[in-house]
Structure 1
Amino acid sequence: MWKDAAAKALHTVEFRAPVDATALAEAERRLGRTLPAQLAALLRETNGVVGEYGTDVVWSLERIVEENLLFWSPDTFPGLYMPVDPLLFFGDNGGGDQFAFVLTPERPDIFVWDHENDSRLWAARALEDYLHRSLAGDGDWYR
């Protein structure tokens, strides 16, 4: 389902080998949080989605874990940004802006975090909508 949705938006999209249930469980243990169901389902089909110019539209599971643990650490950006604890980052635009689910309160929408001004803007109504918009759109599709 997820690979089909991505391929409809961009026929040259790249996929990776899927993630197994053990790896997903270990990632959730390390994060101390459950992955959104949509994201977990996508990762069971492909361990990330690569768009044009090698953009990691959806990161690998390992990168999702590492990036979020880094951002959630209180020592990473002390006082520089508003708290990012309610967010689960999972992809980027290749230019520094990152895409995230909101975990608290849990919702299916995707938001973009602008690294230059620390804004958080709505980008898509769900993961499938995000895939379509990010893979078929131009560089500023979310603005």
Structure 2
Amino acid sequence: MRREIIEEFPSVELREPATTQALDRIQATLGVTLPTALRSLLLETDGVSDEYGTETIWSAERILGDNIAFRGEGQYRTLYMPFDPLLFFGDNGGGDQFAFVCSPPRSEVFVWDHETDSRNLVSPSLEEYVRSALGSDGEDWYR
């Protein structure tokens, strides 16, 4: 993904790039391969926040921390379907989380609805996800 796509939205906050070490740590700790588009984006900017502060794309540190929490929290294991096949990387600011399916690997973006535990396709690619999320006027653009 090119940083220029994000720069189409002037109110978006860009950050310094993530390090390859941070991205390798995500892969090693979670036992997943980062989708190419996500890895490329994080090497250009370590996360993307919209004009309201919603983290459309999380930092590498948050990707690792939140995925560890989702996979390891005992209460989540009893309330929800397994999170192990997913790699969460962003949210809508209202509780829903966006993810790639890593097992088997897919390039589409899915949303996990925290109220219903549903997992639905919302975008055919990370690029389209970014454009849709940043171009929307609200947290429920994908419904």
TM-score, with structure 1 as normaliser: 0.94
1:120-131 matched pairs, under 5 angstroms: 120-131=119-130
Cα displacement string for residues 92-125 of structure 1 (whole angstroms, at most 9, x for unaligned residues): 0000000000111211100000001111111111
Count of residue correspondences: 142
Cα displacement string for residues 55-87 of structure 1 (whole angstroms, at most 9, x for unaligned residues): 000000000000001111162413201111111
Tell me which residue corresponds to 1:105. Answer: 104
Gaps of 5+ in 1: none
Q: CA deviation at 1:26?
A: 2.0
Cα displacement string for residues 11-45 of structure 1 (whole angstroms, at most 9, x for unaligned residues): 21111110122222122212222111111100000
What's the RMSD between the two structures over aligned residues? Answer: 1.2
> 2-side partners of 1:92 and 1:74: how far apart?
19
Q: Is the 8 A contact 1:91 1:99 kept in 2?
A: yes
Answer yes or no: is 1:5 the counterpart of 2:5. yes
> 2-side partners of 1:100 and 1:90: how far apart?
6
1:56-135 matched pairs, under 5 angstroms: 56-73=55-72, 75-135=74-134
SS in 1 for 2:122: strand
Same amino acid, percent of matched pairs: 51
> 1-side partners of 2:25 and 2:79: how far apart?
30
1:6-85 matched pairs, under 5 angstroms: 6-8=6-8, 10-73=9-72, 75-85=74-84
SS in 2 for 1:78: helix
Gaps of 5+ in 2: none
> 1-side partners of 2:76 and 2:23: how far apart?
27
> 2-side partners of 1:52 and 1:67: how far apart?
22
Q: CA deviation at 1:90?
A: 0.1
> 2-side partners of 1:77 and 1:59: how far apart?
21
Tell me which residue corresponds to 1:141. Answer: 141
